[in-house]
Amino acid sequence: MKNTTHERALKSVMGKLGCSEEMSKLLDSSQREVIVEIPLKRENGDIKVFKGYRVQHSDALGPFKGGLRFHPDVDLNHFVSLASVMTWKTALVNIPFGGAKGGINCDPKELSEHDLEILTKRYIEKIGMLIGPNIDIPAPDMGTGEREMAWILQAYAKNHGHQPGVVTGKSEQLGGIVGRKEATGKGVAYFTKLACLREAIELEKAKVIIQGFGNVGQSAAINLEKLGANIVGISDRYGGVYNENGLKVESIAKMLGEMKNASLKDLDIDGEYISNEELLCAPCDILVPAAIEGVVNSKNADEIQARLIVEGANLPVTRDGEDILLNNNVKIIPDLLANSGGVTVSFFEWSQNAQRYPWKPEKVEREFERVLKNAWNNVCEVKECAKQTHSYREAAYTIAVNRVRETLIKRGF
Ligand code: GLU
């Protein structure tokens, strides 16, 4: 995970802002990196040892904040980069959180629900002393959702009493907020709309490809469809489907939801079934990578036909891939801005929990647009001041790094 677009932007911005070597080190490195061993006796009697992680990058602006990822390929480096992205994301949207990320190197699809519950609760037994509503607040990420947040709430309550603000992304029954689940994808759609206006792309006529049809991809697709876009391609880990006349994404998502563990290949969708690689380079105006890291890279960047890329996932474009895209004048709305809708609504949920008073849907909607619009305007202003020499990514990092640096200096060491 070294050499990412994120590291390059961070270094470049710290240089331009005149950060000293020590300040740069402070901004760049994690405050705490923890690895724990989690042995599990599975329902079938097998013993398996997992690794749990929590990386706390910065709490300069508020408690550490970031998701939990359950995926077989995760490692410490993974979480170090992802935790840092969270710091800049929360700083950019100006919510009072720092950045963190963690998870377990497991494949949830291969574990029974019972094993997964025990594993999640064991993880909290091991890292429970490092989290809390005013310390570090986990949330869903890849492979986790409302169910895992409920287990964490319960495991944490054993030693600390009922503290709904210890996690966000809970079901409403447990203190969650209306709209959190859809928020990341909805934000992706909102920023796509704003980017289209600025880049003179007609969203109503645009063909959109969404790579990844999990929580973020589905919500982005449904919300973009509502805004009038034509979703021509979608994919999951087994492959993609393409139809230049458009796919009915809302009904596809509904069908997937009704079938346990189903993937797109199990459905009878009106379109051509193609590989993930083919999908990324298929004809479209807008590409939304909404799954894992590094899918757009030096091998395929030159073949990409989209004029606009909106990073629904974290770190989906590699550094070499970005060079090629920018050279081809493809605009990229970076992850820390594009997918910030999720953590923004997490912040609303956390403040709702502190108040012990639920927010009305209209308030969530209003505040959501206010916070995201503000972040977008700030990025555009900085980009304009730099007379177009900045990418959207550099402009976003300029705002975020400045905020964290100023706060560090004010607070003292
Ligand atoms: N995992 C999400 C992200 O990468 C959400 C984090 C949160 O809500 O704390 O932004």
Domain boundaries, the chain: 28-164, 181-338
- The pLDDT value recorded for residue 387 is 67
What is the reported pLDDT for 76?
97
Task: Give pLDDT, residue 261.
Answer: 78
Name which residue sits closest to atom 10 of ligand 1, judged by CA.
343
Task: Write phi, then psi, for 39 (nearest 5 degrees).
Answer: -80, 140
For ligand 1, residues with CB inside 6 Å are: 65-67, 139, 141, 168, 314, 339, 342-343, 346
Residues of the chain under the 50 pLDDT cut:
none
What SS3 class is residue 209? strand
What tokens does 54 get?
């929590």
- The Cα 38–Cα 33 span in angstroms is 16
The single residue of 65, 89, 101, 331 carrying the catalytic annotation is 101
Question: Ligand 1 center to residue 293 CA distance, Å?
Answer: 15
Nearest residue (by CA) to ligand 1, atom 8, is: 343
Q: Under the phi-then-psi rule, with left for phi > 0, alpha for psi from -120 to 50, and beta for the rest, what region is 265?
A: alpha
Q: What is the pLDDT of residue 262?
A: 86
- What is the structure's pLDDT at 386? 80
Q: Measuring from atom 5 of ligand 1, which residue has the nearest CA?
A: 343
Burial class (CB within 10 angstroms; exposed 0-12, middle 13-18, buried 19+) of 202: exposed
Residues 19-44 pLDDT 10s: 999 999 999 999 999 999 999 999 99
Q: What is the largest CA-CA distance in the chain?
A: 63
Contact present, 332 and 317 (Cβ < 8 Å)? yes
Q: What mean pLDDT value characterizes the chain?
A: 96
Cα(91) to ligand 1 centroid in Å equals 13
CB 279 within 8 A of CB 287: no
Question: Which CATH code, of 3.40.50.300, 2.40.70.10, 3.20.20.150, 3.40.50.10860, is assigned to 28-164?
Answer: 3.40.50.10860
Contact 367, 348 (CB under 8 A): yes
| Beta carbons of 324 and 8 less than 8 angstroms apart | no
Domains 28-164 and 181-338 share a fold: yes
Query: Which residue, among 247, 236, 232, has the nearest Cα to 291 in the 3D structure?
Result: 236
Q: Which CATH architecture has domain 181-338?
A: 3-Layer(aba) Sandwich (3.40)
pTM of the model: 0.96
Atom of ligand 1 at shortest range from CA of 82: 4
CA–CA dist 260, 262 (Å, integer): 5
Q: Mark whether 126 is an active-site residue.
A: no
pLDDT tens string 100-152:
999 999 999 999 999 999 999 999 999 999 999 999 999 999 999 999 999 99
